[in-house]
A and B are shown apart, each in its own frame.
Chain A
C-alpha cells in the first residue's frame, strides 16, 4: 500500500486525560477512510494533530511523506480540511471568504468552484453572519473541495446539511475518489460512511479498537438468523457461537458468530420451514462496539 497518511504511535494527553492513545494507522492513496467513534472518542483530536494545530504528546504523522508537524506548511498545500462547525469571519460575504481562502491556499479550480456553488445551491453574496449553520457548512465544503487537494480531511462534513445537499456531498466524494483523491472522513452518519468508505476505523475512548473493510468487520461480528420451525427447537443457547436466542412458539431468532453448522442442524431437527440470515448493518456494528455491553467489556 502506498500511504497518503501514515500515523505512528501518535498520542495526545491533556494533563492527566488521554485524548488519543498511541495510534498506528495507514490510509492509502486514493482510499476513502471512515473514522468512527462516539462523542469525545478522539476523532477531532486526531484531525487537529494531523493538521499540526495541536502538538502530539508522542509519535508522528506524515501526509504524502511530509511530517505533519515539522513540514506542516508544505503538507497543507496538499490538504483541504472541513471542520464540523466552521467558524468564519462574520463580516465577510461568502464570495469574499472564498476569495481569501483561495488566495491563501494558493491554488483553486475556479470553474469547479463555480460549479460547486451551483450544485450546493449556495448564495455567495450574503454575509457569513447571515448564513444558517447549513449554509456555513456549504461554504466550508466549497472552500475545501475547490482546491482539488490530493488529501481531504473531513470532520463531520455534512452536519447541518439537508438530505438533498447530503446527496450532493456524496456525489462530490465519488468524484474525488474517481480523481484519485484520498479522503479521511470522520462522521456520525453511518449510512454515509457505509456508502462512501473503503475501510473503517473504530475509535473508542481514544483507542483504535478495530480497522478494516466493512466486509471484514461484518465477518468479525455476529450474523442475525430468524427462522420459523414446525416444532420448538431444543436448547439453542448451548450451541457453539450462538447468542441472543429468542424463541416465541415456532419463531426463533438468534445471532451466530463463526460456523453456522450446529445451528442449522438444530433447526433442521425442529423442522425448519423458513430461514432468513443477514449481516449486521454498520449501525448494528457501531452499537455492538460502543453499546453498553461493549463499554462494560472494556472496563
Chain B
C-alpha cells in the first residue's frame, strides 16, 4: 500500500479517539496533582501520617478496592495508592470503547468495506487504525505526564520528574493494553457489542483476581496473574519496579500482532468466533413490544447478574478473613474490644462490596439506556414506530425492563454477598444488607434517569453522560477528599449519597433524593423524547 493511503485511515482513527484521550489525561493528572498537594494539609504531623498508614494500610476492604498501600506515610506513597487502580480501570474502559468503535464498530456499520475498497488490505487498514489509536494513547500519556509534573511543582522534593513519568506510564498502561486487546476482540467477535462483552469480562476477571490476590492472606501470587496486579507491582515513586510493566507491554504487542495476523486471514465482515447463521426458531417473547424488549435485554442482563453473583459471593467469602484481621489489630482491640473490632471489620468490608456492586449497577444502567438509544440511532426503532406503537409506550416498556433487571441485580448482590459471608462462617445482618441493596438500586435509577434526560434533550451525548457519571462517581470514591475539588463538586458523585450500609444505616434521605431525581429526570427526558424528531447516530 502506498504510504499515502495509510495516513488518512490513521488520522481518521486518531481524530475520533483523541478528544476523550485528552480529557482523561487531564483527569488522571489532576487526581495525582490534587492528592499530592493536599497530603501535607490533610496529614500535617508524623503521628497523623503513621496513623493513616496503620489504619488504611491494614484495612483489607481498602486493599481489595485500591490494592496494597505502600509507604502511605509519605505523600508519594499515598498519591500512588489513591490514583493508580482507578486510573487504570477508567483508562481500560476508554481504550476498549475506542478500539472496538474504530474496528468492529466500523464493520458493523458497513463502512469498513468502503475503506477496504480503496488501495489497502484489511491487515494494513487495521495496522493504520492501531497506529492512530497508539498516537491517541501517546497523547493521553503525554497529558498525564505533563499534568503530573506541573501539578506537583510545589512538592517537587517528594516527586522527582523521572518518577512522575513512570507513574504516568503506569496510570495509562492499562489503556495501552486494552487498546490492543480491543483490536484483538474486534477480530474475534461478530459484533461490537460482543467484543465489548468479551473485554468487560476480561477486565472484570483482571480486577477480581487482583482483588483476591491482594485481599486473601497467602494468595498474593494471584495478583501476578492480572495486568492490574502488574501495574500495582510497578510501585512508581516509592520503590519503582519498571520490570513489572514489561509483561504488560509484551502482552499489548502480542495482542496487536495477533489482531493483525487475524485481520489478514479473515474475510471482511466475518469473525473468528463462529457465527450461527440459522438461529433458534423460537418465537417466544415476540408477541408484544415489552416482551421483545425483555428478549433483547436477556443476554446482557444474564451476564450482569452472573458477574454480580460471582463477584459478590467470592468477595463475601473473604469477610471472615477481614473480620479476623480487625480482631487481631492491637489498636482496634484496645479501642473497641475484640468483638466490636471483628464486627466492624465484617460490616466495613461488606460496605466495600456494596460500593463495588453499586458501581456495577450504575454501569449496567448506563448500558441499558445506551442500548435503547442505539435502537433509535441505528434506525431499528422506526420499524416499530411506523406501526401502531406509541413512543412513550415503547420507552416505558424499555425502562420497565431495565428497572426490573436492576432490582433483580440488587437482589442478586444482596443474596450472594450475604451467602458468601455466611459461607465464611459469619452471619451478616439481613436488614443491613437489604438496606444496602435498596441504595444500589437508587444509584442505578439515577444513572438511568440521567441517560433518559440526555437522550431526550441531546441524544448523541448519552454515553458521555452516563458512563461519565459512573467514572466520575467511581474516581471520586477512589480518591475521596484528596481531590480537593470542593464538597459541592464531590456531591455530584452518586456513590456519595448512599451512605456506607451495612457498616452504617443507609442514608435514606440521600437514597430518596437519588430515586426522586432519577424519576424526575426520566419524566423530563421522556417528555422531550416524545416531542422531538427521531435522531440517527
Chain A residues within CB distance 8 Å of chain B: 48, 51-55, 73-74, 76-77, 79, 81, 83, 86-93, 95-96, 99-101, 103-106, 125-127, 129-130
Contacts and interface: CB of A to CB of B under 8 A. Distances in A.
Contact of B380 (A74, A89, A127): A89
A77 B383 contact: no
Contact of B388 (A73, A90, A125): A73
Nearest to B536: A87
B264 interface: no
A101 B292 CA distance: 11
B390 to A, nearest CB: 6
Contact of B278 (A99, A106, A126): A126
B488 interface: no
Contacts of B288: 103-104
Given A55-B533, A87-B380, A89-B380, A104 B388 contact: yes
Nearest first, the 6 A-B pairs at minimum CB distance are A87-B379, A54-B533, A130-B277, A81-B386, A100-B286, A76-B388
B479 to A, nearest CB: 40
A105 B387 contact: yes
Contacts of A125: 278, 281
A104 B534 CA distance: 19
Contact of A96 (B275, B286, B378, B383): B286
Contacts of B190: 129
Contacts of B383: 86-88, 101
Contacts of A52: 385
Contacts of A83: 379, 382
Contact of A127 (B277, B292, B296): B277
A76 to B, nearest CB: 5
B434 interface: no
A91 B279 contact: yes
B281 A73 contact: no
11 contacts: A54-B534, A73-B390, A76-B386, A86-B383, A95-B281, A96-B279, A100-B292, A104-B389, A105-B388, A129-B190, A130-B277
Contacts of A74: 388
A90 B271 CA distance: 15
A230 to B, nearest CB: 57
Contacts of B275: 129-130
Contact of A53 (B287, B292, B382): B382
Contacts of B283: 95-96, 99
Interface in B245-286: 275-279, 281-283, 286
Interface in B177-202: 190-191
Contact of B386 (A79, A90, A93, A99): A79
A184 to B, nearest CB: 13
A95 B296 CA distance: 16
Contacts of B296: 89
Interface in B357-411: 378-380, 382-390
A240 to B, nearest CB: 50
B277 A126 contact: yes
Contacts of B384: 104
Given A53-B534, A127-B276, A129-B275, A76 B387 contact: yes
Nearest to B269: A129
Interface string B292-327: 100010000000000000000000000000000000
Q: How large is the interface on B (under 10, 10 to 19, 20 to 34, 35 or more residues)?
A: 20 to 34
A53 B385 contact: yes
A81 B387 CA distance: 8
A92 B292 CA distance: 11
B155 interface: no
A93 B191 CA distance: 16
Contacts of B533: 53-55
Contacts of A90: 191
A98 B275 CA distance: 22
B289 interface: yes
Contacts of A101: 383, 387
Contacts of B387: 76, 101, 104-105
A89 B380 CA distance: 7
A227 to B, nearest CB: 49
Nearest to A106: B388
A208 B296 CA distance: 42
Q: Report which residue of A96, A127, A130 has the largest number of chain B beta carbons within 10 angstroms of its beta carbon.
A: A96
Given A76-B386, A103-B286, A126-B278, 6 more contacts: A55-B531, A76-B387, A99-B283, A99-B286, A100-B286, A101-B387
Contacts of A106: 388
A96 B292 CA distance: 11
A67 to B, nearest CB: 15
Contacts of B532: 55
Contacts of A93: 278-279, 281
A122 to B, nearest CB: 14
A148 to B, nearest CB: 14
A211 to B, nearest CB: 25
A74 B282 CA distance: 30
Q: Report which residue of B190, B282, B292 has the largest number of chain A beta carbons within 10 angstroms of its beta carbon.
A: B292
Q: Report which residue of B292, B378, B388, B532 has the largest number of chain A beta carbons within 10 angstroms of its beta carbon.
A: B388
A145 to B, nearest CB: 14
Interface string B463-476: 00000000000000
A86 B278 CA distance: 20
B69 to A, nearest CB: 46
A127 B289 contact: no
Nearest to A123: B278
Interface string B98-121: 000000000000000000000000
Contacts of B292: 100
A164 to B, nearest CB: 23
Contacts of A73: 388-390
Nearest to A103: B287
A48 B288 CA distance: 24
Contacts of B281: 93, 95-96, 125
B211 to A, nearest CB: 34
Contact of B378 (A53, A87, A99, A126): A87
A54 B292 CA distance: 24
A101 B278 CA distance: 19
A55 B533 CA distance: 6
A160 to B, nearest CB: 13
Contacts of B279: 91-93, 96, 127
A127 B281 CA distance: 10
Q: Report which residue of A52, A74, A104, A126 has the largest number of chain B beta carbons within 10 angstroms of its beta carbon.
A: A104
A98 to B, nearest CB: 9
B266 to A, nearest CB: 16
Contacts of A129: 190, 275, 277
A91 B534 CA distance: 23
A74 to B, nearest CB: 7
A101 B381 CA distance: 12
A95 B279 CA distance: 10
A88 B289 contact: no
A48 to B, nearest CB: 8
Contacts of A81: 386
Contacts of A100: 286, 292
A78 to B, nearest CB: 9
Nearest to A95: B281
Q: Report which residue of B190, B276, B383, B384 has the largest number of chain A beta carbons within 10 angstroms of its beta carbon.
A: B383
B489 to A, nearest CB: 35
Contacts of B531: 55
